[in-house]
């Protein structure tokens, strides 16, 4: 029995639970799409290949399978590269496929052709070309590299013309994600010894802890020892904002108030703390660090000479910390509660201003706790990072490693595809929206019930504020001098334009009942950002 390369690739993907591939086709890709249609994988046509990379990133997180995206040769591949960057720096196991020139044209001048292997090298963990005679081995290696720590993208170039070559129709083998071993005993003993001596230790929780699903362990360690916990933005959801140990999110709005807690620490315990979001030295007091992660701490060792690396799977070391006698914590948990309350008070809407705070607070009220909110990159992200109550990991989805504008809309589409039973909303800035507006056609075509809230402030606010803080004149950051006229629909998606709180609440209530995507254009007064974001971190 034989089948062709395209069919075999599809059966390999099916064997790994992959049900969707995101991209924009080319002529050479047609046999692969045909095989997907017959084999039960949906090809999701997008408006821009960058979205395909973002979608594969988010799909992988939510489905716990490798995310797959495709782009054609040359410009398709360069567009896709922006999305692949997210898989790399937001740590998602993605298999990126691109069409490449056939081997016979190697080194020749060819329309659309660039060296795609060279293009992909710095933004992937591994890049190769598919060879029909070793297809199973290549796929196995791709899955294994993509899913091992730190997870990330791999690239497989598909030389043009190989799709119809016959290969044996063998039963595809399943490649399980690599097992992460517990840290070595000596490092865990060092960890225990240092932890027992601390009076004011703080837990700093990051992205790896989301992947390793450590919420329960983190909560138990915090409760056992009565100590505060800070989170990176992408670790939101690992500890409830109402928990007595919750001390806030690093880097984002009112970071100076969060610093009032971590400044006092005499020991930092990084739990899955990935500096790709925010380097330790940007916020950490100059004290000892215990770094529990899958890879050693990346930290300035002159400034922070005292680091204990505890490298491996983190369940075991956290169970050990849970089992210790409670330390004599000197943390004033009443003061911590006061700080937490006053921080959330400062992040709640005041008066009748129609700004980002009220937009977020009404959205939080109307979105069920089981829902997912994705966001983009800008001032709004900084506010969301601190203000958005996130009841479970991946309840809020952002890109704080790669931080590419344009992430939010495709992320919402992928979330709805991966978990259709959940309510999905996206909060995006107007600049970010402009980058990915075409994906409204994707959401419409797929009849995805997603509410897209566009914060229309006619500015690249985050950059405008940075400009202002440097005493520079506003220049090159204004998207539109005048209010942009609202259209009733965008690519067939209804647009509800609102300018005040009451009409926003009505529009949102209506939007949640509409079958299919809806855009809410919230024309906001953005002045709230000025006092809340880009504060000191130490």
Ligand X SMILES: Cc1ncc(C[n+]2csc(CCOP(=O)(O)OP(=O)(O)O)c2C)c(N)n1
Which residues of this chain interact with ligand X, rule CB under 6 A?
376-380, 403-406, 429-432, 455, 457, 459-463
Q: How far is the CB of 460 from ligand X (least distance, A)?
A: 4
Q: How far is the CB of 401 from ligand X (least distance, A)?
A: 12
| Nearest residue to Mg ion on Cβ basis | 429
Q: Could you give the angle at the alpha carbon of 255 between the alpha carbons of 249 and 259, nearest 5°? A: 95
Block residue for tokens 């992937």:
124
Q: Which is nearer to ligand X, 20 or 91 (CB)?
A: 91
Q: Which stretch binds Mg ion (CB under 5 A): 28-36, 96-104, 212-220, 454-462?
A: 454-462
Selected binder of Mg ion within 274, 430, 439, 528 (CB under 5 A): 430
Q: How far is the CB of 385 from ligand X (least distance, A)?
A: 12
Element housing 454 (H / E): strand 450-456
CA 286 to chain centre: 29
Per-residue b/e over 309-343, b at no fewer than 16 CB within 10 Å?
Answer: bbbbbbebbbebbbeeeebebebeeeebeebbeeb
| Nearest residue to ligand X on Cβ basis | 429
379 binding partner (options Mg ion, ligand X, none; Cβ < 5 to 8 Å by kind): ligand X
Query: Mutual orientation of helices 75-89 and 49-63 as an angle, nearest 10°?
Result: 30
Selected binder of Mg ion within 53, 74, 429, 494 (CB under 5 A): 429
Torsion of CA 506, 511, 512, 518, to 10 degrees: -160
Residues 220-279 that bind Mg ion (CB under 5 A): none
Is 382 in contact with 419 (CB distance < 8 Å)? no
Task: Answer yes or no whether residue 461 interacts with Mg ion by CB under 5 A.
Answer: yes
Q: Which is nearer to ligand X, 404 or 501 (CB)?
A: 404
Q: Which is nearer to ligand X, 218 or 455 (CB)?
A: 455
Tokens of 43: 């090809």
CA distance 131 to 134: 6
Q: Which is nearer to ligand X, 86 or 124 (CB)?
A: 86
Q: Which is nearer to ligand X, 441 or 463 (CB)?
A: 463
Q: How far is the CB of 465 from ligand X (least distance, A)?
A: 8
Q: How far is the CB of 529 from Mg ion (least distance, A)?
A: 10
Q: How far is the CB of 67 from Mg ion (least distance, A)?
A: 28
Is 4 in contact with 164 (CB distance < 8 Å)? yes
Tokens of 333: 């948990």
Q: How far is the CB of 466 from ligand X (least distance, A)?
A: 9
Q: Which is nearer to Mg ion, 227 or 523 (CB)?
A: 523
Q: Which is nearer to ligand X, 66 or 355 (CB)?
A: 355
CA distance 512 to 515: 8
Q: Which stretch binds Mg ion (CB under 5 A): 127-135, 325-333, 392-400, 431-439?
A: 431-439
Query: Mutual orientation of helices 315-323 and 215-225 as an angle, nearest 10°?
Result: 20
Q: Could you give the angle at the alpha carbon of 228 between the alpha carbons of 223 and 234, nearest 5°? A: 105
Task: Answer yes or no whether residue 457 interacts with Mg ion by CB under 5 A.
Answer: yes
Q: Which residues bind Mg ion (CB under 5 A)?
A: 429-431, 457, 459, 461
């Amino acid at each position: 029995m034989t089948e062709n390369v395209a069919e075999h690739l599809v059966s390999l993907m099916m064997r790994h639970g992959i049900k969707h591939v995101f991209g924009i086709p080319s002529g050479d890709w047609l046999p692969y799409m045909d095989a997907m249609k017959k084999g039960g994988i949906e090809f999701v046509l997008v408006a821009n290949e960058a979205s395909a990379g973002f979608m594969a990133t988010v799909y992988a997180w939510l489905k716990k399978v490798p995310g797959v995206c495709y782009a054609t040769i040359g410009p398709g591949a360069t567009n896709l590269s922006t999305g692949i960057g997210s898989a790399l720096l937001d740590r998602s196991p993605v298999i990126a496929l691109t069409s490449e020139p056939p081997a016979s044209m190697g080194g020749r001048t060819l329309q659309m052709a660039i060296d795609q292997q060279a293009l992909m090298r710095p933004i992937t963990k591994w890049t190769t070309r598919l060879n029909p005679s070793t297809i199973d081995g290549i796929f196995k290696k791709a899955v294994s590299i993509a899913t091992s720590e730190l997870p990330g993208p791999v690239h497989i170039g598909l030389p043009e013309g190989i799709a119809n070559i016959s290969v044996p129709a063998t039963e595809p083998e399943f490649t399980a994600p690599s097992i992460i071993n517990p840290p070595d005993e000596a490092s865990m003993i060092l960890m225990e010894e240092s932890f027992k001596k601390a009076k004011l230790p703080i837990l700093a929780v990051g992205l790896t802890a989301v992947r390793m699903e450590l919420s329960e362990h983190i909560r138990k360690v915090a409760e056992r020892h009565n100590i505060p916990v800070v989170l990176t933005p992408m670790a939101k959801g690992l500890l409830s904002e109402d928990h007595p140990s919750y001390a806030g999110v690093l880097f984002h709005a009112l970071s100076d108030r969060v610093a009032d807690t971590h400044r006092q620490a005499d020991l930092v315990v990084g739990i899955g703390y990935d500096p790709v979001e925010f380097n330790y030295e940007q916020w950490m007091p100059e004290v000892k660090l215990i770094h529990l992660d899958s890879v050693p701490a990346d930290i300035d060792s002159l400034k922070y000479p005292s680091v204990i690396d505890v490298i491996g799977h983190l369940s075991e070391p956290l169970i050990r910390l849970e089992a210790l006698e409670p330390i004599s914590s000197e943390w004033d948990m009443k003061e911590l509660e006061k700080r937490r309350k006053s921080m959330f008070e400062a992040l709640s809407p005041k008066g009748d201003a129609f700004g980002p705070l009220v937009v977020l607070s009404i959205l939080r009220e109307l979105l069920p706790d089981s829902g997912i909110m994705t966001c983009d990159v800008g001032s709004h992200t900084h506010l969301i990072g601190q203000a958005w109550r996130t009841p479970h990991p991946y309840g809020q989805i952002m890109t704080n490693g790669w931080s590419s504008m344009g992430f939010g809309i495709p992320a919402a589409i992928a979330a709805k595809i991966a978990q259709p039973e959940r309510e999905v909303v996206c909060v995006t800035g107007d600049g970010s929206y402009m980058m990915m507006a075409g994906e409204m056609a994707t959401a419409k075509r797929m009849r995805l019930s997603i509410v897209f809230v566009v914060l229309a402030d006619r500015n690249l606010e985050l950059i405008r504020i940075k400009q202002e803080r440097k005493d520079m004149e506003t220049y090159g950051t204004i998207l539109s001098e005048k209010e942009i006229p609202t259209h009733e629909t965008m690519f067939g998606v209804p647009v509800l334009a609102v300018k005040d709180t009451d009409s926003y609440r009505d529009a949102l209530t209506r939007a949640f009942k509409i079958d299919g995507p809806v855009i809410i254009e919230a024309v906001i007064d953005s002045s709230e950002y000025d006092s809340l974001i880009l504060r000191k971190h130490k």
